[in-house]
Chain A
Amino acid sequence: MTGLLVEALIKSIVLLLVLLTATAYLTLLERRLLGKFQLRFGPNRAGPLGLLQPLADGLKLLFKESFVPAQVDPIIYWLAPSISMVTALFVYAVIPFGPSIQLFGRTIPLVLADVNVGILVVLATSSIGVYGIILGGWSASNKFSLLGSLRSSAQLISYELTLGLGVIAVVLLAGSLSMVQIVEAQRDLWFVFRFPYGTVAFMLFLIAGVAETNRAPFDLPEAEQELVAGYQTEYGGFKFAMFYIGEYMSVITISALATTLFLGGWYGPPVIGRWLPGIVWVILKIFAGVFWFVWLRATFPRVRHDQLMTLGWKVLLPVGLVNVLLAAVVLALRSR
């Protein structure tokens, strides 16, 4: 029992350190990549290749004055960024990073907790994460923040459905809600290539995932041209950093989920899959997902709010429903 506790503790600490560092460097990666996309350099002054930039940014935010505007609701004002960051971190408890490894004569699974309803935990947690944004905008008593968080709630409710429908198709294909089981079910064929259900579900998941993380072209909650910065307008210093960490970590989260649910987790492509250890494949796939996010941001302008709602309710939702229905009927008939 103690051994298990220690193991979980060590894994949590390693995971936390790795994730927070990865998030910090994701900001650098994004800025450098966006620079490349726009034929400029991006931050390259702090350290070689700008590698110390996240450190500098973090220290700057940490040492800023902790300013609280006059009319805020203080408890909620402090709570909101914490919710945003904690929920973003919490999801990683159930995301598997590789097959079990042997270390010091023990079998250690590379997942913090293989919950038998893992995917439900992820969806539930990311839904709670929305509260961070909504409460942040509401407590700041600023009309732009409020508008941003209202948009955010509308957007997240709409796209959570699509995301869920994409996930349901995967659950049907895998026959399990556990993340580890879902990866195991993709040993022979990744779910992306299970045409048409898997492929359609993957595309739905990609689009809804971008909307879920409030990233361009669906970054209406922060729309800097109209809403200043939306829900995070009244935040500064480390509270702002927590929102930022939450946002960027959910980018990694969606990439990790796409990896786990559709891209075969730690299983590589058929022929060259054995060349690299499982955890390297996971990291490569997560990186590809992150690149996708940045690529989208560099390419598309922000959609209007009505376009966003039209896409969500009139296109993605029906497609998702039909996809799930088809998958269910076909799988049920086949198992007969």
Chain B
Amino acid sequence: MIRRRWGQVLGMLRGLSVTFRVLFRPPVTTTYPDEKTRVEERFKGRHWLTRYADGLERCIGCELCVIVCPSQAIFVQAAENTPEHQVSRGERYAADFQINMLRCIFCGFCEEACPTGAIVLGHDYELAGYTRASMIYTKPMLTEPYPGAGGRDPHREV
């Protein structure tokens, strides 16, 4: 019995030595707002409406993303392209495109459904706002500012 108890005491001392050694290691914490971790390439964050290299929008206003969206967060208003006002390559383009970021569950179905690869989920994840209205992203907010800004290669066809 004495030997067993002695073993227990040794075990406790060993435990103390383990914690003492750990004391001098640097913390594993990421100090989040100051430093950010790298997100994976396939991370699904805020959406972008991408463009081709020539600046034409990929979105053809087919509304497949609206149909597939499980939380019905997307609204698309399509309009006809005219020779004077050519916005996308197809016959139609999205005159208005809104995503309600409060409803979106970032499942990525819209990205899968899109026949032209227009909508992609980017790497931004700090999506907070002070009002509900500010969380409905409109077309100017969603369209990438220059081809390739959203992360999709602008030379890719789809």
A contacts, CB < 8 Å to B: 33, 35-41, 295-296, 298-300
Contact = CB atoms under 8 A, between A and B. Distances in A.
Interface in B30-81: 31
B12 interface: yes
Interface stretch (B19-27, B111-119, B137-145): B19-27
Contacts of B20: 295
A295 B26 CA distance: 17
B29 interface: yes
B22 A35 contact: no
Contact of B19 (A35, A37, A41): A37
A45 B15 CA distance: 31
A36 B23 contact: yes
Nearest to B13: A299
Given A39-B28, A41-B31, A300 B23 contact: no
B133 interface: no
Contacts of B15: 299-300
B16 A299 contact: yes
29 contacts: A33-B23, A35-B27, A36-B23, A36-B27, A37-B19, A37-B22, A37-B23, A38-B22, A39-B22, A39-B25, A39-B26, A39-B27, A39-B28, A39-B29, A40-B27, A40-B28, A40-B29, A41-B27, A41-B29, A295-B19, A296-B16, A298-B19, A299-B12, A299-B15, A299-B16, A299-B18, A299-B19, A300-B12, A300-B15
Interface residues of B, number: 14
Contacts of B29: 39-41
A40 B27 CA distance: 5
Contacts of A296: 16
Main secondary structure of the interface of A (DSSP, over half): helix
A33 B26 CA distance: 12
Interface of B: 12, 15-16, 18-20, 22-23, 25-29, 31
Contacts of B28: 39-40
Contacts of B25: 39
Contacts of A37: 19, 22-23
Contacts of A40: 27-29
| A-B pairs with lowest CB-CB distance, top 4 | A299-B19, A40-B29, A39-B28, A40-B27
Nearest to B26: A39
A42 B23 CA distance: 13
Contacts of B19: 37, 295, 298-299
Interface centre among A35, A296, A298, A299 (most CB of B within 10 A): A299
A33 B20 CA distance: 11
A298 B18 CA distance: 10
Given A39-B22, A39-B27, 12 more contacts: A35-B27, A37-B23, A39-B25, A39-B26, A40-B27, A41-B29, A41-B31, A295-B16, A295-B19, A296-B16, A298-B19, A300-B15
Nearest to B31: A41
Contacts of A300: 12, 15
A85 B158 CA distance: 72
A295 B23 CA distance: 10
Contacts of B18: 299
Contacts of B16: 295-296, 299
Contacts of A298: 19
A83 B28 CA distance: 42
Contacts of A35: 27
Interface centre among B16, B19, B25, B29 (most CB of A within 10 A): B19
Nearest to B28: A39
Contacts of A39: 22, 25-29
B137 to A, nearest CB: 32
B154 to A, nearest CB: 42
Interface centre among A33, A39, A295 (most CB of B within 10 A): A39
Nearest to A292: B16
A95 B27 CA distance: 38
A5 B23 CA distance: 47
Interface centre among B16, B18, B23, B28 (most CB of A within 10 A): B23
A295 B15 CA distance: 10
